[in-house]
Amino acid sequence: MKKIPENIEKEIIKLVKDLNYHCYRYYVLDSPVISDEEYDKLYRHLKELEERYIFILPDSPTQRVGAPPLDKFERVKHTEPMLSLDNAFSYDEVREFDERVKRFLKTEEDVEYTVEPKYDGLAMELTYRKGILYKASTRGDGYEGEDVFLNIKTIKAVPLKIEDADVPEEIDIRGEVYMDIKEFESMNREREKEGEPAFANPRNAAAGSIRQLNSSITAKRKLHLACYGVGAVSGISFKSQWEFIAWLKKERFPVPAIIKLVRGIDGVIDVIKEIEQKRNVFPFETDGAVIKVNDFELQRILGVKTREPRWATAYKFTAHKAVTRIKNIIFSVGRTGTITPVADLETVRIGGVNVSSSSLHNWDEIARKDIRVGDTVVVERAGDVIPHVVEVINKDKRGKGSEPPEPPQKCPVCGSAVEREEGEVAYRCIGLNCAAQVQERIKHYASRAAMDIEGLGVKNVELLYLQGLVKHFTDIYTLKKEDLVDLPRFAEKSSQNLIEAIEKSKHTTLTRFLYSLGIIHVGEYSAKLLARDFDHIEDLYHVKSERITEIKQMGEKIAESISRFFNDHENINTLEALKSLGVKILNPDFMKEKEEKRPLEGLIFVITGTLPRSRDEVEELIGKAGGHVSGSISKRTNFLVAGEEPGSKLQKAQSLGVRKISYEDLLKLIEEGS
């Protein structure tokens, strides 16, 4: 290939740098310094030079346009889990969060927090290696998401390159992809003109746009990003959330519209009030405020509980409400047989969404609120998403025939008897062959987070069930291509694709398999906890509930459910049948070292000076032995690993009484503790 002239290479580099700067001014700062026409002229010139000399930089703005469509999204594992947040619904609960933090840290002093709006969008992780964006993934189940790299590149506010001369070796930056309200409304108007279904809300629009297999469609949607968190990182360190946000701003990443640093919970509540006052002024949807302990070392000490960090919480604003009438109360049967009463409502618009039904949860809740057919009720969207009936109004205007609804005596789907377990609020259908349960179990088994059988969605499950081809999820593995080709929505290619997807699903993980079984109370996270503790599915056969409660974060209720499932002979026969049909289960999540106490478990180290091995290697050595490396000396530090020219950290360690050790001492510590 002919070498590009040096002057042209320099010109392309300058054009890329200038255009990316103007993108930042326009899409992040909302403060352009050149006109659209001037930008377009520079862009066209860059594109011409790239095409003529076949020289394209990875962060060139021309690389933001859509790429050829994908067949499907690949799954991506997060280096560090993307945790969800606990919620607080009142200022009292915010104060309780602060008290829990201080109790855990054993301090009476006010804690420093950051407060920012909670964006109602799609959580995202961007991974930069040596400063170049090379991976982007959705949150998924918190441990594994979908690779949406091509789609993320189309968002103009996302830097394709970190410009700093001293870039991290690798860094995961977390944020929220969202769509502005006005842009959402404009897009929906266009969709309606074209006869396409409108999106329910901006969050659904953002999620639907990011999950387009054709990234050129995503490129046409006006998506934004707000960055607020860091995952795995190497080659750079941050002491606090505030320091990290400052770094994001310096590196031209978009950050939350408001973010404030305060000391003490009274300051936190003041910022929450400020954000709530601006809620209807923001161009984007927000349903609350996020509160985080600022100091990263304190975050590490606080740790996590189940799937939520102890060092953060989300204050949820009062939901949008409206008044409507209950036309009828109908029954819905879930995949576990639970019968849920549902209010059929006169359609009402709440927070920009048409609401026509609302779960009434259970009959105890109906009795508590005294809900009846024909009542005028207040309905709100909890978290501005899920509608529920808050209260009945004008009870004195009820008609003479108004009566409290009765729980069902028989299953509304199959006519089988129903039962209510002692201490439970739910009524359940006991029919093993209930069509509602069977179909829902099959749908769940084939779902993306379970066995991930592409092509076996809701409509096809219903079709195969009605045709008598799949009456139980074990029947999936007896399907043949000739069973499918003459069915509606199927042809030669689609039939072959489904058979191949079924065959592919036979190779799965224990976490997915356990989740796919639809065991009551066992979600994706609980399935992962089981897989970490039990190597094979057979290890769970006839398990006692006491054994399950030995696993951290597993309570008695879930333990009893798991034990009940794996002590049922029919269930074990089903599992054995699946294995005989070719299902093979691997378990990459099993933690072989879980019972072994590592030699440096719970110890905090600080490294200073020049050591015989690189800092990264020493950090890895300490981490594998169970220790933690901090960037700064404190009273909680156990050891200072000091090499040549240790600097000021040595003096601070001496003043705090922190023991200084050499690299050789560290090796002995690990060896003696093993």
Encoded tokens for 91: 């200022």
Closest CA to 585 of 642, 639, 517: 517
Q: Compute CA distances 549 → 520, 531, 558, whole Å.
A: 16, 14, 9
Distance between CA 547 and CA 81 in Å, rounded?
A: 26
Number of C-beta neighbours around residue 491 at 10 A: 12
Token readout for 489 is: 């929505």
Query: Using CA atoms, how far apart are residues 238 and 236, in angstroms rounded to an integer?
Result: 7
Cβ–Cβ under 8 Å, residues 38 and 45: no
Q: Which residues contact 283 (CB under 8 A, 6 or more apart)?
A: 180, 181, 182
Instruction: Name residues whose C-beta falls within 8 Å of residue 165's C-beta, 6 or more positions apart in sequence.
Output: none
Based on the number of CB atoms within 10 Å of its own CB, is 456 exposed (0-12), middle (13-18) or buried (19 or more)? buried
Active site residue 193: no
Alpha-carbon distance of 245 to 260, in angstroms, equals 10
* Set 118, 156, 443, 528: catalytic member: 118
Q: How far apart are CA 552 and CA 558, in angstroms?
A: 12
C-alpha separations of 397 from 374, 393, 401, 461, 504 in Å: 10, 9, 12, 46, 60
CA–CA separation, 650 and 673 (whole Å): 25
> Mutual orientation of helices 569-580 and 556-566 as an angle, nearest 10°?
70
Residues with catalytic roles: 118
